[in-house]
Amino acid sequence: MRPCPPGEPICTDNQGSSDAPFCFVYATMFKKVKLRFPFTRFERELLIELDIAPAQLHPNSWAFVRAYQVICTHLGHPTSVDVFLYLFEAKNPGDRLWVSLNGVTGRSILSIFQQSYKDWKGKFVRICCNDRDPSLIDGFPLYWVNKGKKEASFRKARGLEKMWELDRDLCNFWKGVASSNVTLSTSSIITYEFLEGQLDVHIGLSFKFSSSPNSNLRMVLNSSMH
pLDDT tens-place string over residues 63-114: 999 999 999 999 889 999 999 999 999 987 666 678 999 999 999 999 999 8
- What pLDDT does 222 receive? 47
Sequence ranges of the domains in the chain = 2-224
pLDDT band at 212 (very low <50, low <70, confident <90, very high): very low
Distance CA 61, CA 20 (A): 28
Q: What is the pLDDT of residues 134-178, one digit of tens each?
A: 889 999 999 888 766 555 556 778 889 989 999 999 999 999 888
- Say if residues 55 and 178 touch (Cβ distance below 8 Å): no
**What contacts 225, CB < 8 A, 6 or more positions away?**
none
- Say if residues 46 and 65 touch (Cβ distance below 8 Å): yes
Provide the 3-class DSSP secondary structure of residue 56: helix
Its pTM stands at 0.85
